[in-house]
Homo-oligomer: A and B are copies of this chain.
Amino acid sequence: MPDFVRTVPPGDDRERLTCPDCGFVAYENPKVVVGSVVSEGGHILLCRRAIEPRRGFWTLPAGYMELAETVEEGARREAWEEARARIALEGVLAVYSIARIGQVQVIFRAGFETPGFEAGPESLEVRLFAWEEIPWGEIAFPSVHWALRHWRETADRPLGLPAMNPPEDPRGTSPMPRQARF
C-alpha cells in the first residue's frame, strides 16, 4: 500500500489523506466508541484489557461501533464480546469527545439483563468492583475515570442530562496517565 499524501480533493475545502496511485480519498472521520458502566448492587463491572493499547489495564466494556448497528446495539455487543455479559441499558450516562484521537464516546448506564459474566477474547479478566476496590492506578483511559466519577455522582438518582467532558479537559486532549504511557 502506497503512502497517502495530504491534498485538497476537488470540491472539498480542506486537506484529506489521498492515495497518490489510485486517487482514493481516505476521509478521516471521528470514530464512535460505545460502552457502558454496568453495575449490580453498587459494584461495577470492569475488564482488564488483553490487547494493546493499555494491555493489562482496567476499562469499561466498550469499543468501536460497527456500521449497521445502533448505539444501543453496539454497547450491548461490546459487553458481550468483552465480558460475556448480557446487559440492560438504562440510558445515556455521558457523551465524551476525545479530539486528540478523533473519538466520540457514548457511554450508557446499565445493569445485568441476565446474571453472569466472564472474560471474552479481548479481556484477561473481568470483575465486579466495589467503589472502594476500584484500581484507580491501573485504569486504562482518562474517559474511564470520567465515566466512573459521573456514575458515582449520579448512582442513586434517575438519569438526567448526560455528562460531557469534564471542565479540566473540555476537548479530550490530556495525555494518557503518566505511569503507564505506551
Contact = CB atoms under 8 A, between A and B. Distances in A.
A127 B37 CA distance: 41
A51 B45 CA distance: 46
Contacts of A22: 1-2, 19, 21-22, 24
B72 A164 contact: yes
A53 interface: no
Give the interface size class of chain A: 35 or more
Copies of this protein in the complex = 2
Chain A's interface: helix, strand, loop or mixed, by majority? Answer: loop
A114 interface: no
Nearest to A159: B161
A91 interface: yes
9 contacts: A2-B22, A21-B22, A22-B22, A28-B67, A67-B102, A68-B102, A69-B99, A70-B171, A91-B164
Given A29-B29, A70-B171, 16 more contacts: A1-B23, A19-B19, A22-B24, A24-B24, A24-B26, A26-B26, A29-B31, A30-B66, A32-B104, A70-B165, A70-B170, A70-B172, A71-B95, A71-B104, A71-B164, A92-B164
